[in-house]
Structure 1
């Protein structure tokens, strides 16, 4: 088992040795200790698939549909989920690196001990996504994405692009957003309750306050 510590949060991650995994090109059955490389399932439909202690690398899953199912103890690397619909799924103890979720719809999604690094979530829609444990986004792009009715307490974001990220009816109590620009964040102040911020983000917070309250600021 390996861990990654971001700020005050420690995330439990898989520690897989590719030499111990069995190569496969079939994701339609439950997988355990499998290695999937450079496969293509664009537009495929997966129903209650369970993947455990496996590594998925360079795979095309764009426009695919996932209903329920679980990924536990998995590493996902340079995989394309663009335009996919992921509903009712659970990701637990997973590391997702260099993968693309452009325009992906994540609905009724559960996250626990998940680290996203250098992933693209531009135009992605998070709806009722819940974190039941530590979750981190590092060097990720979330421009023009939406978070709606999400419960992401203690989620950590570092060095992420949040331009025009829209946050609506979310519970982010204890979330750590230090190290990100909030300048173009689209949200009301109620969604920011209980956040951890740094001094250099106070100007952005002030701008959000002025906009929400409709204040007019003039020289004395």
Structure 2
């Protein structure tokens, strides 16, 4: 099994090139049996991609572009998703285990009730996305991702890592962020500073958080 270390955590990622593993090319991710395993899917442009009650196990999704995306109870295990544009996806009630997203766009997506365990998001765009009741029950890392005006609501991101991410006007609403690792990010324009109790930062980021709080409270500094 492959793994990547980020700060204090290690994320186990899919190893889809291991000897003896053969991925069959499929034309659709839908399965009448409810399970798709050992698959390769991609290089498609779709008007709509809707999957409900499906398990995707050990597979690669690449270069998928879809305008309308609806995922419900779509559980992933050992899956790699790369260079894909899933638009403003609606994704709910799903569990992701040993999943690696790379160079993907989920701008304006609504992620509700997702459970993350050994999940790596790398160089993905989540601008204007909403995360609600998303829970990191195992290692989870966001590396080099953009979260412009994204909103986290009632999430449990305890122990998760954000590294080298764009957090401009990203709002951290009420939730649990104990030991969430925010080192290596510009925090000066985030929102919801008061909700970030027990997070982990590095020397110098205190100034970022102070600036973010001043911005959020609309405080005017000066003699005029």
Residues in 2 aligned to 1:114 and 1:6: alpha-carbon distance in whole angstroms: 12
Give the superposition deviation at 1:218: 6.4
Q: Which residue of 1 aligns with 2:76?
A: 71
Q: Which residue of structure 2 lines up, in the alignment, with residue 198 of structure 1? A: 202
Q: In angstroms, what is the RMSD of aligned CA positions?
A: 1.8
Partner of residue 109, structure 2: 104
Give distance in 2, aligned partners of 1:144 and 1:209.
16
**1:157 partnered with 2:159:** no
1:187 aligns with 192
Q: TM-score, normalised by structure 2?
A: 0.91
Match of 1:25 in 2: 27
User: 1:164: how far off?
Assistant: 0.4
Does the 8 A contact of 2:189 with 2:215 survive in 1? no
Normalised by the size of structure 1, how large is the TM-score? 0.93
Kindly state the Cα deviation for residue 83 of structure 1 after the two structures are TM-superposed: 1.1
Task: Give the C-alpha shift of residue 69 in structure 1.
Answer: 2.1
Tell me which residue corresponds to 2:2.
2
Distance change in 2, residues 1:210/1:163 (3 Å)? closer
* 1:37 partnered with 2:42: yes
Instruction: Supply the distance in 2 between the matched residues of 1:146 and 1:216 (Cα, whole angstroms).
Output: 25
What is the CA-CA distance between 1:211 and the residue it aligns to?
5.6
Q: CA 1:214–1:28 in structure 2 vs 1: closer, same or farther (change >3 Å)?
A: closer
Q: How far, CA to CA, are the matches of 1:75 and 1:213 in structure 2?
A: 41
Give unpaired runs (5+ residues) of structure 2: none
Answer 1 or 2: which has greater strand percent: 2
